[in-house]
Amino acid sequence: MQYDVAAIIRGYAQGYFLMADESARLGWYGSKEHTLIPLDDRFRYPKSLQRVLNQEKFTVAINRDFFGVVAGCANRETTWISPELKKIYWLLYQTGYAYSFETWQGNKLAGGILGIVIGGAFIGESMFYNIPEGSKVAMVKLVERLRQKKFILFDAQMMNPHLARFGAYPVSNQEYEKLLQQALQHPYSLEE
């Protein structure tokens, strides 16, 4: 099956996201509000995580094992990452839009965050861990990278208690669209 990368990116650039339903049918979804991870001083994390960061148990990599991160994110009892969506993520990775931000412990993939980069927006699709704290360290290090690269927006899509611990906050769809349009004016990359 052929996929139109430009059409997929246009969908994300309009504030929609791809998701498979219970029957693995892929569709575009929108939301009345989006959850953002702050890229300013509102970003926070538990003190216990600071101890883990200080111990430097993990190293960070970008796209070292992209498909390993996709597989890790999909490896759940109930997942919206269908085989078709995995193929789309792979295509977006090959065309420079999808990224995996990873933590490693030696040669073992500890955790990671899967996302789409369009302009100055990082659209977080999913995260996972194989080693406790692996995804949390990835979150802290990703925010540091996005700040360093002057990204405008880190969209986490939907709120959950885990994201709330990092200072995530909801914004209306109208506010989100304004920020997204601003972010799209700035072509950034996660890479060095």
Nearest to 125 by CA among 65, 188, 73: 73
State whether residue 163 is helix, strand or coil. helix
Summarize pLDDT for 182-192 with one digit per residue, the tens.
999 988 777 76
- Going by the DSSP 8-state scheme, the letter that residue 41 receives in this structure is T
Q: What is the pTM of this model?
A: 0.94
Structure tokens at 170: 């909801």
| pLDDT computed for residue 12 by the predictor | 96
- In angstroms, the CA 69 to CA 138 distance is 12
Does residue 79 register a pLDDT over 90?
no
Mean pLDDT of all residues in 20-48: 92
Mean pLDDT of all residues in 44-64: 94
Domains of the chain with bracketed CATH: 5-184 (3.40.630.70)
Summarize pLDDT for 103-152 with one digit per residue, the tens.
999 999 999 999 999 999 999 999 999 999 999 999 999 999 999 999 99
Mean pLDDT of all residues in 57-61: 96
- CA neighbours within 13 Å on the CB side: how many for 48? 4
Number of H helices, E strands in the chain: 7, 9
How would you class 153 by CB atoms within 10 Å of its CB: exposed for 0-12, middle for 13-18, buried for 19 or more?
Answer: buried
Give the distance between the most distant pair of CA atoms in the chain: 47
Alpha-carbon distances of 4 from 11, 29, 88, 166, 187, rounded to whole Å? 11, 18, 10, 35, 21
| pLDDT computed for residue 1 by the predictor | 62
In this structure, are residues 119 and 185 in contact, taking their beta carbons and an 8 Å threshold?
Answer: yes
Strands 121-129 and 153-157: parallel
* Phi, psi dihedrals of residue 68, rounded to the nearest 5°: -65, -40
